[in-house]
Chains A and B, each alone.
Chain A
Amino acid sequence: MKRMGPRLAAAAAFLVMAGACGSSSGGTVATDVGITSNQILLGNTISQTGAAAAYGTIANAENAYFTYINSKGGINGRKIKFVILDDAYNPAQTVPLTKQLVEQNQVFAMFSGLGTQDQTSVRDYLNTQKVPQLFVATGATTFGKDFNSNKWTLGWQPPYQGESHIYAKDVLQNHPNAKIGVLYQNDDYGQDYLKGLIDGLGDKASTMIVDKESYDVTSASPASQLAILHAKGADTVFVFAIPKPTIQSLAIITGLHWAPTIYVNSVSNVATYMKLAEKSGAKIDGAISVGYIKDPTDPQWTNDDGMKLYRQVIANCSTCDANNGFNIYGVAVAYTMVDVLTQAGSNLSRANVMKIASSQLNETNPFLLPGITVTTTSGDHFPIMQEQVIQWTGDAWHLQGSIINERGTIK
């Protein structure tokens, strides 16, 4: 009995070692890492908790589209497996999780990772490892503009600066004497929108913008910033914020007995959340934004083939609300991903997939507004460059004017 301790210890050591040995196993490699004869492995990081949890459903919608494609036989017989990890919109978590997907799960590519700051923080790593970082779910201009220094990274949605240019034009045209107050998120995402607005206003920027206030994504509420904008006499407010602070802002603005012209950025403008803001007391009639995806709550698409397909696809996701615009975003971007993989055919190497995505896309996506195409060429790496102004009247967004093409406006 006296020697029990060491013996137990030796047994424990053996068990630990044996357990550790069992866990290290490699996968079979067919054409490239993450591809087997019957599977394509894609990875994703997104915020399913935390300040930007509203976006979390996007990955589930993407998975719903992959499930739909898999049920139709997959892509050339290969089924897509999609690994979704929650980074809570925190780059400090995105970095290790991305590393885990690349090194541990051995994904073929990262697909639709969400968040400007988050995706910027893993861009260097993924480019060094030569792992495609495809169709990031952020419109930060850098992802299209700096393609030549990051050849493994590509965006998808229209760039924020282009969107801001549209707002600037709209202000100059319809409210030439506006006193603009800007609320923006204190990071690359907010600053990108702000830069686009300042550039778009040109010479008038310094006189028209009376104040700009930033908020931290971790802060509880942007109330004090909005009170300052109000006090500075702004009569036009730009809310460059993610969904939660946007909803808060809209309610706070009304709470301040303030009725400015409101511009809402496209990353928070889904009708579900606008209605949520109205429920919490916000008066947002006349608010302006832009759209490029068909709004599931808009009755004009009820009999549209794309919308019917979307409803069929999203039924594969038990936790997704079909009316939430973020879900159709997810399905639309997954459609492009499947398009690229299908085009790659039997040459499923990372380099070939990246080449097709970044320079050979010419796609009519059934979930985007009619007339908008997803296009890349060897000299242009912004897949979507068309948007249309929308205005909130009578509980719904209404398309205004015609589609605006921003291609070539961002150098």
Chain B
Amino acid sequence: MRFVGRAPRRYWLIALGVIVFAGLPTQVTSFQSLEWAEVLIFAIVIMGLNLLIGYSGQISLGHGAFMAVGAYTTAILVHRYHVEYLVTIPIAGLLTGLVGFFLGIPALRLSPLYLALATFALAVITPSLIKRPENLTQGTQGILLPPQQPPDWASSTFAAVTGGPAMTSDQWLYYLCFIAAIILFWVAWNVVRRRPGRALMAIRDGEVAAAASGVNVAGYKTLAFGLSAFYAGVAGALYALATGFVSPDTFPVSLSFQLLVGAVIGGLGSIAGPLFGGIFTFWLPIISSQFVQTQDWIPDQVASVFKNAGPAVTYGALLILIMIFAPNGLAGLILSAYARLRSRLRGVGERTSGQLPPDPQTV
């Protein structure tokens, strides 16, 4: 008990978060579970992006393309070669990680701005590339996957715990994403708190200084790129399984932007940030395009203007607001609010939330 009592506060928060997310499907409808599964999927890919941008200071505008590689790997393996879908998730992750790793080698020689452009090019050509080998990817038609039924043990356990009906395929997919998210967040937590993380942050804050201190700059940068792509690949695989449908237009250029904005708004250089980023990336377009329509008090003309420009305008406006008022994203905002609350209660200030140097290069 003493151990529990002495645990740092953030452990309590983590335990709470895990419990809330674990219990979520028992409280919401099957369809809402699927929506939250997609939130977790976005959280995973943004975690990967966060490792790359937030910790190693490289910018990628091509993570939508990495997701596409992962999603198509799973879709093709399941649909064409009838591989067990669970097995395809790590395969998709590793394959995408390899793609990212090899892409990282030439990309290393580029300064951040040009790296952003190179990855942007990747995001632009990927949808077109997917359309070409038509017998493999089924071209513009896309690949439909059947819903994945939960195994019996999961289904019966779920029914026993909730005392309700058996687990639906949507709920099963939620738990798959939940488990994947926990593992990958734990990995990220460990990476950034140990030698590789310190090396990456050293590179981010000063490449020359890091090299002078004996950090293998090229090696770590490529590693960060590969690891980040691995996260995107796993997320892509889960996305294909969750939505049951992939087409080239599932991964437009704008997806890569949304992920980047999600990473920034969630909070770069923080472990909790990507979770907020995932929630934001998934819900904002839905809320801005659907919520406004259902509000009768908003005049039709305003609602239709809002809808036509919807997500893009809200994205832009929110991004500007966040940059002004919470440069460390939602995670940073919450941390600083907490710190302020504590100092108000105790009368003394504690450490500030600043985790990132205010260097525009990293955003």
Residues of A at the B interface (CB closer than 8 Å) are 1, 4-6, 9-10, 12-13, 16-17, 20-21, 23-24, 48-49, 53, 84-86, 90-92, 95-96, 99-100, 103-104, 117, 120-121, 124-125, 186-188, 216-218, 318-319
Contacts and interface: CB of A to CB of B under 8 A. Distances in A.
Contact of A104 (B32, B131, B301): B32
A53 B308 contact: yes
Given A103-B29, A216-B131, A91 B308 contact: no
Given A103-B31, A104-B32, A121-B142, A90 B252 contact: yes
A217 B128 CA distance: 11
B212 interface: no
A120 B24 CA distance: 32
Interface in B106-129: 127-128
Contact of B24 (A20, A85, A91): A20
B29 A104 contact: yes
A96 B28 contact: no
A84 B141 CA distance: 24
B310 interface: yes
Contact of B247 (A16, A92, A186, A318): A92
Interface string B247-278: 10111100000000000000000000000000
Nearest to A117: B140
A17 B27 CA distance: 7
B19 A20 contact: no
Given A104-B31, A117-B247, A5 B308 contact: no
Contacts of B16: 9-10, 12-13
B131 A186 contact: yes
Given A49-B310, A91-B250, A95-B244, 14 more contacts: A9-B12, A13-B19, A17-B20, A17-B27, A21-B27, A24-B27, A90-B250, A90-B252, A91-B249, A103-B30, A124-B144, A186-B139, A318-B300, A319-B300
Contact of B304 (A20, A23, A319): A319
Nearest to A96: B243
A117 B142 CA distance: 9
B324 interface: no
A4 B344 CA distance: 14
B9 interface: yes
Most buried by A among B31, B245, B249, B293: B249
Nearest to B23: A17
Nearest to B239: A92
A21 B293 CA distance: 24
The 9 tightest CB contacts between A and B, nearest first, are A92-B250, A20-B27, A5-B9, A103-B31, A187-B140, A9-B16, A95-B245, A90-B249, A104-B31
10 contacts: A16-B20, A20-B24, A21-B27, A53-B308, A95-B245, A103-B30, A104-B29, A117-B141, A188-B140, A216-B127
Nearest to A3: B5
Most buried by A among B20, B27, B34, B304: B27
B142 A49 contact: no
Interface of B: 9, 12-13, 16, 19-20, 23-24, 27-32, 34, 38, 127-128, 131, 139-142, 144, 243-247, 249-252, 289-290, 293, 300-301, 304, 307-308, 310, 345-346
Nearest to A103: B31
Nearest to A92: B250
B245 A48 contact: no
B308 A49 contact: yes
Given A1-B345, A9-B13, A86-B307, A120 B141 contact: yes
A85 B27 CA distance: 26
A217 B252 CA distance: 12
B32 to A, nearest CB: 7
B39 to A, nearest CB: 13
Contacts of A48: 307-308
Contact of B12 (A5, A21, A120, A124): A5
A23 B30 CA distance: 12
Contacts of B23: 17
Given A86-B307, A90-B252, A187-B140, A23 B300 contact: no
A190 B91 CA distance: 35
A107 to B, nearest CB: 13
A188 B250 CA distance: 17
Contacts of A99: 31, 34
B25 to A, nearest CB: 10
B127 A218 contact: yes
B131 A85 contact: no
A29 B251 CA distance: 38
Nearest to A105: B31
Contacts of B307: 48-49, 86
A13 B31 contact: no
B13 A5 contact: yes
Nearest to B127: A218
A86 B306 CA distance: 13
Contacts of B127: 216, 218
A360 to B, nearest CB: 31
Contacts of A49: 289, 307-308, 310
A188 B27 contact: no
A5 B345 CA distance: 13
B142 A91 contact: yes
Contacts of B304: 319
Contacts of B141: 117, 120, 187-188
Contacts of B300: 318-319
B100 to A, nearest CB: 22
A187 B19 CA distance: 45
B283 to A, nearest CB: 13
A90 B253 CA distance: 13
A282 B12 CA distance: 67
A84 B293 CA distance: 9
A121 B131 CA distance: 16
Nearest to A16: B20
Contacts of B345: 1, 4
Contacts of A84: 293
A24 B20 contact: no
A121 B245 CA distance: 8
Given A49-B308, A91-B142, A23 B28 contact: yes
Given A90-B249, A92-B245, A186 B31 contact: no
Contacts of A96: 34, 38, 243
Contacts of A12: 16
A71 to B, nearest CB: 17
Contact of B301 (A117, A188, A318): A318
Given A1-B345, A86-B289, A92 B34 contact: no
Given A5-B9, A24-B29, A187-B140, A319 B301 contact: yes
A44 B25 CA distance: 27
A120 B31 CA distance: 21
A334 B104 CA distance: 54
